[in-house]
Amino acid sequence: MKSETVNKILSLNYQFYQSFAEDFSETRQRLQPGVLSLVNRFRPESSILDLGCGNGELARELARIDLSCSYLGTDFSSNLLQKAGHGIPAEFPAKFLELDLSETSWSDMLPETPFDIVLSFAVLHHVPGNEGRINVCKNVRRHISDQGCFYHSNWQFLRSPRLQRRIIPWSEAGFSEKDIDEGDYILDWRRGGMGARYVHHFSSEELSLLADESGFRIKESFFSDGKEGDLSIYQVWEPV
């Protein structure tokens, strides 16, 4: 994907999450079943990096279950981060950092000490271009311990007829289809006004290649969420 197309897509998503932060946050007041199933596996005393923490709902859940861990949540939306610390007790050691995963050297902003657990729920599918996604995953590998786990999920919206109806033609969003990669879509947003955001629809084969190219192997893969229980694909990766 050309750099100018990547930048245009990044600008579209940045504007969406800044403009609709309040409305988006209202739709994220509980964790998805797939996320909750993985949270139950976290060991006490783990160090956790949450990439794309949004409004901080996961940190509030970790505090609620009294998991003794260190937690660093990051997001590129300053408006969402303003909500992230709300409702978290002072005794839970949660910290938050504004960080843009589209920046090549974003991992330079993180502590040098590797994390036991890295999370990226519903985030990778917003990163345009295979090169950009490889960069994110290679940086995750750089900051995860050799015995750590990378947990992530990606939206499988093409499995839902309702969500398929929300796909916007590229021309209406100001893009040329010849500049777009296979699996790329623009979906509309209808809460609190009309908006649009970029989402990539991953295949299982694509995720396998991404793991190989960034220094991981897939330990586990499963579907969860939504009415049919298949609206997101979850994977657990181990460092090679």
As a whole number, mean pLDDT of residues 206-226 equals 97
Question: What's the CATH code of the domain at 49?
Answer: 3.40.50.150
The answer to the question of residue 108 being in a domain is yes
As a whole number, mean pLDDT of residues 7-27 equals 82
**Confidence (pLDDT) at 168:** 93
Q: Which domain holds residue 220?
A: 3-156+203-239
The answer to the question of residue 191 being in a domain is no
The answer to the question of residue 172 being in a domain is no
**Confidence (pLDDT) at 17:** 82
Distances (CA, A) of 213 to 44, 51, 240: 31, 20, 11
Q: What type of residue sits at position 181?
A: D
> What pLDDT digit, counting tens, does each position of 80-139 carry?
898 888 888 888 889 999 999 998 889 899 999 999 999 999 999 999 999 999 999 999
Assess whether pLDDT exceeds 90 at residue 18. Answer: no
The answer to the question of residue 16 being in a domain is yes
The answer to the question of residue 74 being in a domain is yes
Domain count within the chain: 1
Residue 63 CA, distance from chain mean position: 21
Structural contact between residues 189 and 195, judged by C-beta atoms closer than 8 angstroms: yes
The answer to the question of residue 161 being in a domain is no
The answer to the question of residue 182 being in a domain is no
Question: Considering the chain, what is the average pLDDT of its residues?
Answer: 91
The answer to the question of residue 186 being in a domain is no
Strand order in the sheet with 184-189: 167-168, 184-189, 195-200
**Confidence (pLDDT) at 52:** 94
Judged by DSSP in three states, 142 sits in helix
* Token pair in block for residue 50: 């949450």
